[in-house]
Chain A
Amino acid sequence: MGTQQATDGRPPGSEEHPAGAQVEVRGVTKRFGDATAVSNLDLDVAEHEFLVLLGPSGCGKSTALRLIAGLDEPDAGTIAIGGHDVTDVEARDRDVAMVFQSYALYPHMTVRRNIEFPLRNRKVPKAERDRLVGEAADALDLADLLGRKPSQLSGGQRQRVALARAIVRRPALFLMDEPLSNLDAKLRVQTRAELIQLQRRLRTTVVYVTHDQVEAMTMGHRIAIMSAGVLQQVGPPAEVYARPANVFVAGFIGNPPMNLLDGTVEVGGTTLAVAVGDARVELPPALASLAVSTDARDVVLGVRPEDLTVDPSAPLRATVAVVESLGHERHLVCERPGGELVTSRVTGDDDLPAVGEELGLAIRAEGVHLFDRATGRRIGP
């Protein structure tokens, strides 16, 4: 069994995990009554990869994680960990460790007993157990807290105990369900960095669930974005940001979110433009040829706030509604004649327009994203 290899086959004292397992999820569906939590999910996680499952609450990301953990059984599809089909294998035999959002520490056990629990269940001899607990406690700076009960720890310390309990057995796969969401903002940033270091050092495969796109962008090798039980896009953070696969991803990734404007494709001589209200936005040639090749005439035009600049002569008119200053950058929230709000991100010390002022907004040609309004899918590369 895989669990035996994971605890016994490891060279003593080695920090390298020999078998960061890959995960293959094939056509997995999970229904709760009439609701479909996860629909026909296909997902591959490579060895040693840090994959983030991202999505709004209720999108099925936690269910997907629980299916991989074996805490829920799929209604259809298969799951393989490390090349073995584990669809019908119980959670405790899957060689995975999980960090829960609530940490799920055993309140009646000391920190030592908590960390030790996975080892005791696997009948690891005491000497070996003490050594592994010591290593895990050192790695997470818990050596002084081993005698305490969870109720005597701060939130950050509890979180580290939960992590220690997960790494102590050196499993092939870590599953983390929003492990940082109960920490305060400052501690969250710090722990985020520590988690990344820990993963890079242990080289264990990680599947990490979060609704926080900053966590997703900063931590993941790749991000898998889910909505309404359906996987929307999988890719490295930069690619997901640069080339969102559909309207949902476009609107979900990025802060402030991408401006999404309904428009109609208009052919005018040699160029192609999208009419947004009374304004015409010329498409760059590469995108134009693609837009012609699809039949879609009703489109959604996406522009990131940083690709929307103030230009008095630009045809896209709007009135400044709110100016948000974040110190290093400013957000101009402007109202279009139809009532839509668009956001422009302004850096530098340029003079800011006043609230109520009417201005023109220019779109950088490379910053245009085009989506088919009917299907929501991206048009173009």
Chain B
Amino acid sequence: MTAPRRRSRRARRVREALLGYALVAPALVVFGVFVFYPFAKNIWLGLYRTPPFPGLPKRYAAFDQYERVLTSPEFRNSLRTTVVFVVATVPTGIILGLLMAMLAHQRLRGITIYRTIFSSTVATSIAVASVIFFTLLNPQVGLLTYWLGRQGEPSLLDDPRWALWAVSGVTIWQNLGLSFILMSAGLQGVPDDLLEAAEVDGAGAWSRLRNVVMPLLSPTIFFATIVGSILAFQAFGQIDLLTQGGPLKKTNVLVYAMYDAVFRQNNEGKAAVLSVALFAITLVLTLIQLRLLERRVTYER
């Protein structure tokens, strides 16, 4: 009596397990081909020094190349540039997005028009944004050049003091739509009755913002900060289109340095090391996010 039942239970378990693997398999194949294999290959590439001329054999260098690239002034400059770029773009973008979201959160007639305008930059690509600003900053005909009173001077993008800030500005503008949408969603997640309770409890607009809205918005802000930072560390399109890493390597952010290493210097090994470094940075950011999300920032209602 018990034996057949046990056998059928085991058969069912095997069937369910097979079904599970079958369902996971397509995703595994895709990830394997496009993520896991390139990732492993990339680490392996970093262990070999690329020959100066194509056709010569690669030389195994163990971690020597990692050490050399990661301690080079070029890498340090690139990392510093990238960090400055991240710090310049991410908080500003979030603050501006939050301000716009608060403005658009009012119940006013026609406010949806503003919401549409505010979020419109998500519909543009970074390439489009770059072309727009490239024109605006043109030393001869650019409107921004005119407003800034820089006619006859080189474009901001060619000025070593300003190039990074100009690229940051373009990036902030392009990210504003996404930031606005995220912050709007966050604001809508703050229950109205909490704000009304605070109002009855005697809280003015500032107190409501500080004591109710911001704490409840902090998970959204935190999420936007981490995701924004990860994306900013990966910035490439605007650099390639606007400055090509220059002038004087002042905008040579990590991903552009990688691109430069592969396509200008034909140095795959160096590029592989740089990409591992970027991976490490992204990993740390992600771990921070996971850790903090678990702990403090979310509020169960």
Contact = CB atoms under 8 A, between A and B. Distances in A.
Given A106-B194, A107-B301, A151-B301, A71 B200 contact: yes
A91 B200 contact: yes
A226 B196 CA distance: 24
B197 A104 contact: yes
A100 B202 contact: no
Contacts of A3: 202
Output the residue of A69, A71, A97, A175 with the most chain B CB within 10 A: A71
A94 B75 CA distance: 62
Interface of B: 191, 193-194, 196-204, 207, 211-212, 215-216, 299-301
A118 B208 CA distance: 12
A334 interface: no
Interface in A85-105: 90-94, 96-98, 100-102, 104
A70 to B, nearest CB: 8
B45 to A, nearest CB: 47
A234 B212 CA distance: 38
Given A70-B199, A117-B201, A122-B202, 13 more contacts: A3-B202, A91-B199, A92-B200, A92-B203, A93-B202, A98-B196, A100-B193, A104-B197, A106-B197, A117-B203, A118-B201, A118-B202, A121-B202
Which of A69, A94, A100, A108 has the most C-beta atoms of chain B within 10 angstroms of its own C-beta? Answer: A108
Contacts of A106: 194, 197-198, 211-212, 215
Given A98-B197, A100-B197, A108 B215 contact: yes
A165 interface: yes
A92 B201 contact: yes
Nearest to B201: A118
Q: Which of B191, B194, B204 has the most CB of A within 10 A?
A: B194
Interface residues of A, number: 27
5 contacts: A3-B202, A91-B196, A92-B201, A98-B197, A121-B203
Contacts of A91: 196, 199-200
B207 A104 contact: no
A97 B300 contact: no
Interface centre among A70, A100, A106, A175 (most CB of B within 10 A): A106
Q: Which of B194, B202, B207, B211 has the most CB of A within 10 A?
A: B202
Contacts of B207: 121
B211 A117 contact: yes
A104 B301 contact: no
B220 to A, nearest CB: 13
Contacts of B198: 106, 117
Nearest to A121: B202
B215 A92 contact: no
B193 A92 contact: no
A97 B198 CA distance: 10
A169 B196 CA distance: 17
Given A117-B201, A118-B201, A151-B301, A104 B211 contact: no
Given A104-B193, A151-B300, A97 B200 contact: yes
A121 B215 contact: no
B109 to A, nearest CB: 12
Interface in A51-105: 69-71, 90-94, 96-98, 100-102, 104
A3 B207 CA distance: 17
Contacts of B202: 3, 92-93, 118, 121-122, 169
A145 B64 CA distance: 60
Interface string A101-137: 1101011100000000110011000000000000000
Nearest to A175: B200
A308 to B, nearest CB: 44
Nearest to B195: A104
Contacts of A117: 198, 201, 203, 211
A69 B195 CA distance: 13
A250 to B, nearest CB: 34
A228 to B, nearest CB: 24
B200 A98 contact: yes
Nearest to B214: A108
A107 B197 contact: no
Name the residue in B193, B200, B207 with the highest tally of chain A Cβ atoms < 10 Å from its Cβ. Answer: B200
A107 B196 contact: no
A107 B198 CA distance: 12
Contacts of B203: 92, 117, 121
Nearest to B202: A121
Nearest to B212: A106
Contact of B193 (A70, A102, A118): A102
Contacts of B191: 102, 104
Nearest to A69: B200
B196 A71 contact: yes
A101 B194 CA distance: 11
Contacts of A70: 199-200
Contact of B300 (A71, A98, A101, A107): A107
Given A102-B191, A108-B299, A92 B211 contact: no
